[in-house]
Structure 1
Amino acid sequence: MQTVSMIVPCFNEQESIPIYFKAIEKVFQKPSMQNYALELWFIDDGSPDSTLSELKKLNTQYPRTAHYISFSRNFGKEPAILAGLQAATGEIVGLMDVDLQDPPELLPQMLQELTTGNYDTIATRRVGRQGEPAVRSFLSNLFYKFINKVSKVEIVPNARDYRVMNRKVVNTVLQMPEVNRFSKGIFSWVGFRTKYVDFENRERVAGTTSWSLWQLFEYSLEAIIDFSTAPLAIASFVGIFSCVISVLALIFIIIRTIFFGDPTAGWPSLAAIVLFIGGIQLFCLGILGTYIGRIYSESKHRPIYVINEKK
């Protein structure tokens, strides 16, 4: 019998946890799942609600199945995923959201595909975004197009974190100690044979999403910076472009002065050029500073998360 460790990050999910547990328990009670033992690792990412209380109830009722790790504060989903990967003991390790937007009924098919030995990872992707705001869908599609243009690692569009992996993949991912993590990119970077299972978009079973549009935007920027140096190249290009524009403007001013004189004092155009060049410099310094900040974060060697309770 193989143990399947499912990692379930949680933040303010007190309503979803009991529903999720019943749903996944039902899946593992199917005859086709008799060869698998379920191990659940819930990661409470510093939730201010009663998420931890719900996890403690589950652990009391099902001590062999439902385990939990509680962070000392909110560290983010990526540290929660890492904590789960480090805690999981199963030969097969899975990752899914607690809100049931990742359908548990796909697990039998995913595990069957994985145990054939033809693949090392069975991942999932959404084939539609029904029910999602149009702006969020547009920005998501734009993000995938952009990052796949500038990154050497292909990030599969609409891929979910929902996946199952063999121990070889998990051990390889755990060898990557960076503080700034983007799991979808890391899973793609390590390679291995991966198959994607498609499913239609689903609504949350309870509660509301903790991801705002701005947080998703910041997460996208982190992904681009973590897996591409293109922003640095863009900054260089912008600097060269601004220099060319400045030279052309200078030539234009000289020619105009020779043939038509200088009817104005020239300070408005000078002020505009100075502000333009200053803005370009600040833009480029901002990009450079972001990368330097990442280096600074990595060099401090602080723990990626702090555990308050674990059981």
Structure 2
Amino acid sequence: MNLLSIVVPCFNEEETVEIFLKEIQKTLNDYNFEIIFINDGSSDNTLKNIKDLANANSNVKYISFSRNFGKESAIYAGLRNASGDLICVMDADLQHPPSLLPEMIESVTNEDYDAVAARRTTRKGEAPIKSFLSSFFYKLFNKISEMGLVEGATDYRVMTRQVVDSILQLSEYNRFSKGLFQWVGFNTKWIPYENIERVAGETTWSLWGLFKYSIEGIVAFTTAPLSVSTLLGTAISIIAFIYMIIIIARYLLYSDPVQGFATTMCAILLLGGMQLLSIGVLGKYLEKTYVETKNRPIYIVKESNIDDE
């Protein structure tokens, strides 16, 4: 039977890792699998609990980072060290239901699919503002990017070795896995499921964190914001030129002096705001270029029970 490697990024998941393992063992009782927990610089007892599980189960592996490098780095580390013929990425909090795994494995193994991914059809239990912003992100991304994302797409997926090897070729430091999974292509089946709340613990994703993550995704896969800045600058310049012609014509024809301190201040503030916005957009792209040129490692391992590390 093919070996299934399950990659599980963990950040402060001390309450969930044991529950997660029990659910996987119950679901995949007849499968040959290994679990690779990636401790992403947790500040609680996540690493200790993972080590205890590894000592009691030979198919439990772990990689522990020297600090928090982020979920994207954890996914990359897990994919890089997975030895299975099939590789799965899922969260430890059971918001990615293990009950879908048999169907996902079956589709990749016996159907003409290279990957099977899960997408949420509802966001029950989430704050309305979070659900609205998430939906808005997908719509915006698909409008400005040549590569569309499936709305509700998650990182939860089962992939063949060929797909994973293709993803590992993309060794960029600034990573947005949802986009990378889509960018490499391959035949992907989507399985819908309703949102499930965490089995234990608290989420580490704040609204601000999700906003920054969405910006990372947009910058990583489209240069449209740079084009928007150029278009806005061109449009405002044209409007300003037309307005100047109107002012000159009124003065020459009607001797109407230029008035309006408030109008002048609004124009100055508008132009100043647009300039700062455009500089900010340009700066974001320069920031990513600057970070990439440093060629720093995506993650640093402090300890692991995997030989390759």
What TM-score does the superposition give when structure 1 sets the normalisation length?
0.95
Name 1:305's counterpart in structure 2: 299
Mapped pair 1:216 → 2:210: yes
Mapped pair 1:156 → 2:144: no
Quote the Cα distance in structure 1 between the aligned partners of 2:88 and 2:16: 18
Tell me which amino acid in the other structure corresponds to 1:22.
K
Kindly provide the CA deviation profile for residues 79-104 of structure 1, in whole angstroms up to 9, marking residues without a partner as x.
00000000100000000010001110
Tell me which amino acid in the other structure corresponds to 2:188.
T
Quote the Cα distance in structure 1 between the aligned partners of 2:215 and 2:46: 29
Kindly provide the CA deviation profile for residues 12-71 of structure 1, in whole angstroms up to 9, marking residues without a partner as x.
100011111110011111xxxx3x311101011101111111111111111x21111111
In the TM superposition, residue 258 of structure 1 has moved relative to its aligned partner by 2.5
Task: Indicate how the Cα distance of structure 1 residues 135 and 258 shifts in structure 2: closer, same or farther if over 3 A, else same.
Answer: same
Quote the Cα distance in structure 2 between the aligned partners of 1:188 and 1:160: 11
CA contact (8 A) 1:40 1:67 kept: yes
Q: 1:134 pairs with 114, 125, 128, which one?
A: 128
CA contact (8 A) 1:242 1:280 kept: no
Name 1:166's counterpart in structure 2: 160
Quote the Cα distance in structure 1 between the aligned partners of 2:275 and 2:122: 41
CA contact (8 A) 2:163 2:186 kept: yes
Gaps of 5+ in 1: none
Name 2:106's counterpart in structure 1: 112
In the TM superposition, residue 122 of structure 1 has moved relative to its aligned partner by 0.6
Quote the Cα distance in structure 2 between the aligned partners of 1:264 and 1:255: 11
Identity of aligned residues (%): 49
Q: 1:96 pairs with 86, 90, 93, which one?
A: 90
Q: Which secondary structure state, in structure 2, belongs to the residue aligned with residue 97 of structure 1?
A: coil
In the TM superposition, residue 252 of structure 1 has moved relative to its aligned partner by 2.4
Tell me which amino acid in the other structure corresponds to 2:23.
A
Name 1:44's counterpart in structure 2: 39
Name 2:9's counterpart in structure 1: 9
Quote the Cα distance in structure 2 between the aligned partners of 1:260 and 1:266: 17
CA contact (8 A) 2:226 2:281 kept: yes
Tell me which amino acid in the other structure corresponds to 1:13.
E
CA contact (8 A) 2:118 2:154 kept: yes
Task: Indicate how the Cα distance of structure 1 residues 231 and 264 shifts in structure 2: closer, same or farther if over 3 A, else same.
Answer: closer
Q: Which secondary structure state, in structure 2, belongs to the residue aligned with residue 309 of structure 1?
A: strand
Aligned length: 305
Aligned pairs (5 A) from 1:64-75: 64-75=58-69
CA contact (8 A) 2:167 2:180 kept: yes
Tell me which amino acid in the other structure corresponds to 2:145.
S
Quote the Cα distance in structure 2 between the aligned partners of 1:8 and 1:125: 18
CA contact (8 A) 1:59 1:65 kept: yes
Tell me which amino acid in the other structure corresponds to 1:194.
T
Name 1:20's counterpart in structure 2: 20
In the TM superposition, residue 2 of structure 1 has moved relative to its aligned partner by 1.2
Tell me which amino acid in the other structure corresponds to 2:179.
G
Quote the Cα distance in structure 2 between the aligned partners of 1:117 and 1:268: 67
CA contact (8 A) 1:123 1:161 kept: yes
Tell me which amino acid in the other structure corresponds to 2:51.
K
Tell me which amino acid in the other structure corresponds to 2:49.
E
CA contact (8 A) 1:4 1:91 kept: yes
Quote the Cα distance in structure 1 between the aligned partners of 2:254 and 2:19: 79
Quote the Cα distance in structure 2 between the aligned partners of 1:168 and 1:156: 22
Q: 2:279 pairs with 281, 285, 297, which one?
A: 285
Quote the Cα distance in structure 2 between the aligned partners of 1:258 and 1:50: 78
Name 1:205's counterpart in structure 2: 199
In the TM superposition, residue 275 of structure 1 has moved relative to its aligned partner by 3.2
Task: Indicate how the Cα distance of structure 1 residues 275 and 127 shifts in structure 2: closer, same or farther if over 3 A, else same.
Answer: closer
Mapped pair 1:147 → 2:137: no
Quote the Cα distance in structure 1 between the aligned partners of 2:261 and 2:157: 61
